[in-house]
Amino acid sequence: MRNKRLLNLLKTIAVLAIVVWSLFPIFFIVVSSFKAGHDIFAVPTKWFFEPTVQHYQKLVSAWPVFFSSLWNSTVITAGATALAVIASTTAGYVYSRYNSRLLNASIVYLIGVRLIPPIVVTLPLFPIVNWLGINDTHFVLIVLYATFFVSLGTVLMRTFIDQIPRELDEAAAIDGASRMTILRKVIVPLATPGIIAVAVFVIVFAWNEFLFAFIFTSTNAKTAPLVVSEMIGSIDGVDWGVLFAASTVQLLPVLLFVVFMNRYLVAGLTAGATKG
Amino acid sequence: MAELGDTMKARTLWGVIPLLAPVQLLLLSVIIIPSIYVIWLSFHVSSFGQSATFVGWDNYIRVITDPAFHSALINTVIIVVVAVHLELLVALGVALLFNSGLKFRRLLLVAVLAPYAVSEVIAVAMWRFLFDMDVGPVTQALQALGLPILEWGYDPMHAMIMIALLTIWMHLPFTFIILYAARLALPSDLYEAARIDGATAWQSFRRITIPLMGPAILVALLFRYIFAFRLFSEVWLMTQGGPARSTEVVAVYLYQEAFSYNAFGTAAATAWIMVIVSLLLASGYIYLLRRQVNANAK
């Protein structure tokens, strides 16, 4: 009996530790964004303080570029998600329903492509993108973000579409439905959980990505993480209050999104790791 | 029915090309062709605005004999070996904890997943403040406990510890989910049978949990090796590889060669060294996966 109590106590401590580890940094940055300047730097750390929105006001007045970067991030995330979802769904459908040696062989290549580190392709793409004059546009990041998820996306969609009985598309085909109609009216509605799982991956990735944004954008298409990184690297010292406020604004939407979509994220992660 | 099947087969590839084209075009134009071009680049010397000259293996030799590359490689290996294995142990512990029956399990699961939503940039901002050497709350807590603080601003070793902690924080959700899903998939009657046979908790862990979770552990490990090997943003944002290139990792070395020193040839050679190491890691993965498939078939 005492043993069991002790075990339960240890378990509670372990649960607390993992929750603090996961949530404390997020909690701290959000809470600190409402602290006045001198409260942020108080030693020992202040846990009770007069909340203020002064950093948010300063963010609005001194960093208009942050808000245009949020807009860029939104456009790029939406574009990359649409492109990746459409491309992965149509390809996943073919991989699920059609059989040929070429197709089976190309699955290996779909998986193999994921092994190439993203930084590798920046070397040739940087001069090419400059030469084409599409440097610093939404288009470049949309294409890059979508591309780095279509291989995983296709494999995921194949797994999800495999679970839809073939008899359904065959019945529709006998009724005279074309391939596109089958895809739109039969496959897409039934494969929605898969589509959402792919979309969750791309949305989180595109909203947060740093490397490609850092290399391929400079002013017009700058994304929010890039502007936040400039706040961190500011030469005349970091304005922590504004940095916390900007981080909170960038973080909260995607955090809430992950919280609400956690089921799809878990399904995608497990299917992606075991099947792809 | 047979007729329909036949006509579907006959029209197969031609008819579905439009459906496959977007994925194949994206992969070819953004990843495959550029990567092949990087091979060509790695055998030439060039910088912006100059025509390239063929130099054979020169770039590779130059990279492999460069002390800065050695230190970058060692740092990368330290991160891969220390951080990834530590992360795996923690993830395994948390997965088993979740499996042992917790109250509010879904809520706790979401809490553990939360760092997945956080950008590397924001995570670095958090870490830099939490461990700030003057006012950081973690630094204060360490001091209050009489523990040494992380002087990551000038001690490269401490900076590496910070980066390792940060990567564990960012990737624990991934590793945890893989292991937790694998643990949930184990049949409970096995444990029942072991209990009836008088096995202790430790024995069932050693003899049932670990062997049966083996494949999932390997999958999680290999994914994390491959992703830790391309680590860039966390290091770049935390230290920019400094002080004096002491905290560079391979991807940061590559970036510096290409975009700071304009040495695209050696950068390309570094890039292909990265690809080859990833391929080697993955071939281990495929080999183990095959063995797993064969074992399942038996």
Residue A127 near chain B (CB below 8 Å): yes
Report the SS3 class of residue B53: strand
pLDDT for B2 equals: 44
Residue B199 near chain A (CB below 8 Å): no
User: How many beta-carbon pairs under 8 angstroms link A with B?
Assistant: 261
Residue A121 near chain B (CB below 8 Å): yes
Residue B109 near chain A (CB below 8 Å): yes
Mean pLDDT along residues B108-130: 95
Q: Residues B148-193: pLDDT tens digits?
A: 888 888 889 999 999 999 999 999 999 999 999 999 888 888 888 8
Report the SS3 class of residue B45: strand
Q: Which domains does chain B have, with CATH numbers?
A: 58-297 (1.10.3720.10)
Q: Residues A222-256: pLDDT tens digits?
A: 999 999 999 998 766 889 999 999 999 999 999 99
Closest-CA distance, B106 to chain A, in angstroms, reads 9
Residue B264 near chain A (CB below 8 Å): yes
> CA A68, A72, A77 angle in degrees (round to 5)?
150
- Chain A residue numbers with beta carbons less than 8 Å from the beta carbon of B262 are none
Report the SS3 class of residue A192: helix
Q: Token match 């024995």: residue?
A: B203
- Chain B residue numbers with beta carbons less than 8 Å from the beta carbon of A214 are 233, 236
Q: Residues A97-138: pLDDT tens digits?
A: 888 888 888 888 888 888 899 999 999 999 899 999 999 999
The region, left, alpha or beta by phi > 0 then psi within -120 to 50, assigned to residue B13 is alpha
Closest-CA distance, B61 to chain A, in angstroms, reads 19
Q: Token match 């040839």: residue?
A: B265
In percent, the amount of chain B with pLDDT more than 70 equals 92
Interface confidence, given as ipTM, is 0.92
First to last CA, chain B: 34
- Chain B residue numbers with beta carbons less than 8 Å from the beta carbon of A103 are 13
Residue A179 near chain B (CB below 8 Å): yes
The whole-angstrom separation of Cα B58 and Cα B42 is 9
Residue A260 near chain B (CB below 8 Å): no
First to last CA, chain A: 46
Cβ contact (<8 Å) for A121 and B174? no
Cβ contact (<8 Å) for A127 and B111? no
Helix, strand and coil content of chain B, in percent to the nearest 5, comes to 80, 0, 20
pLDDT for B3 equals: 45
Residue A78 near chain B (CB below 8 Å): no
Local structure of residue B54 (DSSP, 8 states): E
Closest-CA distance, A221 to chain B, in angstroms, reads 17
> CA B31, B33, B38 angle in degrees (round to 5)?
90
Cβ contact (<8 Å) for B117 and A258? yes
Q: Residues A147-160: pLDDT tens digits?
A: 999 999 999 999 99
Cβ contact (<8 Å) for B120 and A183? no
Residue B104 near chain A (CB below 8 Å): no
Q: Residues B45-83: pLDDT tens digits?
A: 876 566 778 888 999 999 999 999 999 999 999 998 899
Residue B232 near chain A (CB below 8 Å): yes
Q: Which domains does chain A have, with CATH numbers?
A: 57-275 (1.10.3720.10)
Cβ contact (<8 Å) for B110 and A259? yes
Residue B295 near chain A (CB below 8 Å): no
Q: Residues B227-262: pLDDT tens digits?
A: 999 999 999 999 888 888 889 999 999 999 999 988
Contact between residue B264 and residue B41 where contact means Cβ atoms under 8 Å apart: yes
Pick A179's closest partner by Cβ from B15, B226, B237: B15
Interface of B with A in 18-77 (CB under 8 A): 18-20, 22-24, 26-27, 30-32, 34-35, 37-38, 41, 48
